[in-house]
Chain A
Amino acid sequence: MRLTAFVAALSAVLASFATPVEADQTHVAVAANFTEPAKEIAALFKQKTGHEAVLIFGASGAFFTQITHSAPFEVFLSADSDRPKAAIDGGFAVADSLFTYAIGKLVLWSRVVDVTDGEAALKAGNFQKLSIANPVAAPYGTAAVETMKALGVYDALTPKIVQGNSIAQAFQFIDTRNAELGFVALSQLHRVTEGTRWEVPPNLYSPIRQDAVLLKTGADSEASKAFLAFLKGSEARAIIEQFGYALE
């Protein structure tokens, strides 16, 4: 993940040298789980404003490290709220540009077990492996743990938990049926029709706020500011909701 992000960033930088700098481009670091909606939004953005948003996808943790080492991103769309805040605190981002662009919805998904009544399925425990994202690395993982604790099943299920190092990997474990079920992001199930799912009631876990922030490197960039504005607009919000996120 890190490596791809870094290489992508490098090529973006080199590419930006190739085109005349007319401030109609902006480099956006996008959390991996937001890939599909980001692409649609960027296409629409170009259509409406003529500005081009160059998207780089990857893990928020990796992006954060790079940003603190002067990576040339201008906008940061994180998978959580901690990292954009840390960027502001560290002086790498513009303080009043922070806002929540999407709220992640946690969902329990299975291709093997019927989880339409997720709570019952979890309590029954008729499975060998349950997949979550590593809580240390992804907020969806933390949310999954919170949910299980709230339902009082965490201790019983701990021996069955397997961790993917990202939400994408957690998804892969379930998709290949190595784990019978697991917690993923609703946005990942956007075009998926197999299996059964249970949208976890939001009161069971702390909201997964995905925050966006303008980085200092893009502070004077018209395209960057325009992109963030577009992201708050109704067209973008419609797309975001369509993909399975909640909005503020």
Chain B
Amino acid sequence: MSDGETIRVDFKSVLGKFSLQANFAAPARGVTALFGPSGCGKTTVLRCIAGLTRVEDGLCIVAGDVWQDPGGAFLPTHKRPLGYVFQEASLFAHLSVRRNLMFGAPRGKARTRKGKIAFDEVVELLGVTALLDRAPGKLSGGERQRVAIGRALLSQPKLLLMDEPLSALDRATKDEILPFLERLRDRLSLPIIYITHSIAEVERLADQIVLIEKGRVIGAGPLEELQSDPSLPLAVARDAAVTLDGVIAAHDSGYGLLTLTIRGGSLIVPAPPAAVGGRRRIRVIAGDVSLAREKPGLSSILNVLPARIVSAKPVGDQELVAVLTLGADETGARLLSRLTRKSWEALGFTEGMSVYAQVKAVALAPGRGELE
């Protein structure tokens, strides 16, 4: 990717008893998730990108514009064309919703620039029309957060930074806002860096993911790759799963099933009828995948696919996670399978072996089921 298409970040510092060594490149397009456990430094990285925290030895180049470099250049936050959504909405208490929204909007000559994000568009996108003349104190948590997002967008940013925007909200409100975020991502061509510690949000929103642990970047790339990389924590997590994009090949309205083609095979998913050719994202949990040396006979499991074991990694004393590639060669989609060491040894599985993957349950990834 050329310079104009990436966001390059490299921050090194010791802040308190925390050492930061974050180095990654993200595409200047789509949603890049910064993912990791609490306290791992994700917020610090975001604040460094925004210039809110200043680290002496830092590099930040956004689509060719130098925001900071180790030579001493440092663009102050208010000169960076960014939008920032904090975990708590932080609306200005002394301004109405409308004035909050317009706070960062360009004034004077810059007002009528073409291609800009329009007020009406944002208000409609985030569903805040009815709230415009209210005071921030009179809004619910979800409403406040939507206004905060709108406010960030109306400052015409070239990069949107979001720090766990949904963490402070309850389950119901989260579910209410996620579709707004998806629409945001789909309708505006704006790179978004999105911090979360929820893998569900990552799966739903992100194209790329940067994994952070103890202040260091331990992996960066497309979600699917990182989910099935045994050296990364995702694959060995209790709820490890892979998310795959498939194309609808057929639908069976009698049994309410869709057949989705993925690289190296196809999967049958319970789903409402839909047109052939449509795309869907599905989720396969490692614990739902079991392995067989031979093609199983009569079994209730619908999805049995030929696959090859790429690698196996012990998890704890008694379990393993195996990484499989579907189909005969190396190019198939990756699946994870979690099995007991006893089974692994009793059935004599080895790396490189051809096996059958039995996928007990496939689900459409929530929300993002429909990709168009």
Do A and B touch, yes or no (CB under 8 Å, in the complex)?
A: no
